[in-house]
Chain A
Amino acid sequence: MFDFAPLTKWIDTVLHNAMSPFWAVVVEMLIVGVLILLFYALIGLFLVYAERKVCAFMQNRLGPNRVGPFGLFQTIADLVKLLLVELVPIRNADKFLFNLAPFIVITASFMAIAAIPFAKGLHAIDLNIGIFYVIAVSAMGVIGILLAGWASNNKYSLIGAMRSGAQIVSYELSVGLSLITMVILAGSMQLSVIVEGQATGWFIFKGHIPAFIAFIVFLVASTAETNRGPFDLAEAESELTAGYHTEYSGIKFAFFFLAEYMNMFIVASIAATVFLGGWMPFHVGNWDGFNAVMDFIPPFVWYIVKTFFVVFLMMWFKWTFPRLRIDQLLTLEWKYLLPINLVNVLIMAFIVLMGWHF
């Protein structure tokens, strides 16, 4: 398996030899920041394109096909358009909060991406409480949404923001609990340790029934947490026109838009990392030949393929199901997901205690 650790070590030593430790760290941070920013923009643009293509195929349409081959540059054209579009000033809006909201939303998703292990040794920051950090940081986005709805001075926006507040606060619980189930199995909250622990088998196979239930619950709850259909109540275009970002235009709207897709990507990465083995290749017992072939595929490709599989699942949900109502949304969380989750944590703890996992 290709290991990025020597490469990063080498860059580190070169920088430290060339300049003082302070400047070396600053340069390293800059490099990492720029890389993540690039990755962020590219993935965001690609996801928008992918979503449009996926939904088009599901609806017997062609999807974007005019700009570039297969419409690949359509999202770039859209981005340029959004950059050039007028920023409409809103009368009686709270200007400071109105402008601040998109930045909070995008910063939250930007911070979460730092803790995700992309491949062996390719990891911006390997916190020993990685999962906790990701949950905590991604939950910050809701403040941005609430501010956006409040500051817009629009009744639809306010309803949308209030809905999303109720929604994210309750679904945060399920996301956390389903991840805790896996933390019990992994025995660590450090993402790199979790991935290493799956070298002999992904956790979704290792933890069998409770892990599978946790995966489903995580998928449902995280879809709700990212405000995507069928839980897109905060936007609900047929009820609230566009919900909390009704009044936003131009690049500020693009921030919300991009953040939504990146949140989806982050959630899918966490699912891939915790349940599907992150960048670990697919191994079967002692089929050495098969395992060797699987090892040949680079870990970054494994990571991307798994993440996009989860992303595809989420898109599939969105383009199939009608939207829930706000009270049904909360019923689903408090009457179904939460009890299931609690029982599931118990079962998982018991299984780990008895050593019944693989």
Chain B
Amino acid sequence: MAQKRVLMKGNEVIAEAALRAGCRNYFGYPITPQTEVMHYMAKKMVQIGGNFVQAESEVSAINMVYGAAAAGARVLTSSSSPGVSLKQEGISYIAGAELPAVVVNIMRAGPGLGGIQPAQGDYFQATKGGGHGDYRNLVIAPASIQELYELTVEAFNLADKYRMCAMILGDGTLGQMMEPVAFRDEEPIVTVEKPWACTGRGDRADHNTVTSIYIDPDVLEAKNVELQEKYKYIEENEVRYEAYGLEDAEIVITAFSTCSRICKNVIRQAAELGIKVGMIRPITLWPFPTKIINETAALSNVKAFLDVELNMGQMVEDVRLAVNGQKPVYFHGRAGGNLPTQKEILDKIVEISKGGNV
């Protein structure tokens, strides 16, 4: 039975979820707007005998993550956009060495030092790899605090299962807002054996090694092919999304994380004006819900798509690839830390509905 609901801030829920998922290692570096993850860990992790290290940089923090993951531990780091850029070196190594780790990016507005208000400008970085080489991260985009809790726990299971980086990608709103959350009495932790981990050789006949370097081109190519096979399996098995109103929608909105919640209200307002609007909200940004978007585009009731993001147009590229020219795809985005108003989005919907060129 679920416990009583408690009011908590998103960033604190991430930390609490990680602890509940059995994570006993956190390495981080302060950056707004995710620092409450660190504050929570600095206290709670130490109280339960886990490891909390405030690293000298994000670069160091992600390499501590690499070390703990290589040693077989469940491990978390969290940061925000500029800090996650610094972590990209380590994330690429984590991909190359096939280590399980959870990385949280509570996005702020960029580029550069940018601002500290919410944004979704790191979609490309998160979903297309981010660092050097051919690799993917599992990218999970919760839209509420309850979902943030449940998906953070799930991220640890997925990271262990696939031996790769699972990234929680939320905008600053998600990290900073408070909502009720109901914690489960027992978490669905899936324990995975890690015979490859460097734990000290002990009685093993041979030593374990964790590496991402393969000097021989044939060996490295084979490694890449192996990674791509894993990614293909994930694309076929781990896609998650929320969809509603598609069966009679005239316009379909695509939006992720908290931006989708603004759109939900707009859908109600549009209905009052007699415009039927549905929505596809990707929960996994990679693997991307290509199939449902493609199938929805083929529906005769669907006239157009409207993609709404807190950036200048990033996920919209994947939406267009999925729609594959079947229907027009419109975009509305705000940047710099500004959020779109419901009116802005509604105006866009009305215009699209009228067949206007928006």
> Are the chains A and B members of one assembly?
no
